[in-house]
Amino acid sequence: MPKPVRSPFHIRFLGSWIALGLLRLLSLVPLPILFHLGTALGDLLRVILPSRRRVAERNLSLCFPKLSEEEVSVLAKENIRNTARMLLYTGFVWWASEAKLKKRVTIRNEAALDKLEHEGSGFILLAPHFLALELGGIFISLRSPGVSVYQRTRNPVFDRSMLRARQRFGGTMYERKEDLRPMFKAIRQGKGCYYLPD
């Protein structure tokens, strides 16, 4: 069995570079327009990927057995739209300026984070693994460079871009399957950790 190609510059990943370039261009589009483009993309994905729609509807039916078929369909449709919006929004998060990113985030009880950082106390900020996960981690790094865990993707082009984006304000990422002791040491030394349990 041939060894998988990990170089992002292999010809095999040309399509990924084109997709990344498109994502970069879309990052320049105003967010309200990006929202509507994401809605349209979500509606398109529902049509061209019916198996994903069925999986979403089945999972929702199992989780919410009292909902009607129509209610489940509406929830699944909105979920797919939100996923598509998030995909397009990722480009904004990866390439937007510090000022633009700060305008998009509201922190509740920010004084608690300020206190921990002022005291030099390390902390772990648990975040649900929802759609805006990219923005949360990058925003924490804007406050003070911290640490986080990531999972390597199968696509080295997107893996490389994701790491560069997440570390561009000084944060340090540790691959989930590697030795995490340096991350725990950084927390003990007063760094904040953005962690998405799953």
Q: What pLDDT digit, counting tens, does each position of 151-174 carry?
A: 899 999 999 999 999 999 998 999
Q: Are residues 119 and 183 in the same domain?
A: yes
Whether residue 160 lies inside any domain: the answer is yes
User: Does residue 62 sit in the same domain as residue 46?
Assistant: yes
Cα distance between residue 30 and residue 40, in whole Å: 16
In a domain, 135, yes or no: yes
Statement to judge: residues 163 and 87 lie in one domain: no
Q: Examine the fold and report which residue of 36, 62, 95 is the final residue of a domain before the chain moves on.
A: 95
Q: What is the pLDDT of residues 90-126, one digit of tens each?
A: 999 999 999 999 898 888 888 998 898 889 889 998 8
Whether residue 57 lies inside any domain: the answer is: yes
Judge whether residue 131 has pLDDT over 90.
Answer: no
Asked whether residue 48 falls in the same domain as residue 71, the answer is yes
Output the six-digit token pair for 91: 């480009």
In sequence order, what are the residues at sequence separation of 6 or more whose Cβ sits closer than 8 angstroms to the Cβ of residue 129? Answer: 196, 197, 198
Q: Which domain holds residue 59?
A: 28-95
Q: What pLDDT is stored for residue 140 in this prediction? A: 81
Extract the tokens encoding 165: 């984006």
82, part of any domain? yes
- The CATH number of residue 150's host domain is 3.50.50
Paired sense of beta strands 172-175 and 147-150, if any = parallel
**Does 19 map to a domain?**
no
Structure confidence at residue 196 as a pLDDT band (50, 70, 90): confident
When mean pLDDT is compared across 48-52, 53-57, 136-140, the lowest value belongs to 136-140
Do 75 and 125 have their domain in common?
A: no
Average the pLDDT over 68-85 and give the result.
Answer: 95
- Has residue 38 got a pLDDT over 70? yes
* Long-range Cβ contact pairs of 16-21 (< 8 A, separation 24 or more): 16/155, 16/157, 16/158, 17/157, 20/157, 20/158, 20/161
pLDDT grade for 134, boundaries at 50, 70 and 90: confident
Q: In this structure, are 111 and 190 located in the same domain? A: yes
Instruction: Report the domain count for the chain.
Output: 2
Q: Is the pLDDT of residue 198 over 80?
A: no
- Is residue 22 over pLDDT 60? yes
Indicate whether 85 and 124 sit together in one domain: no
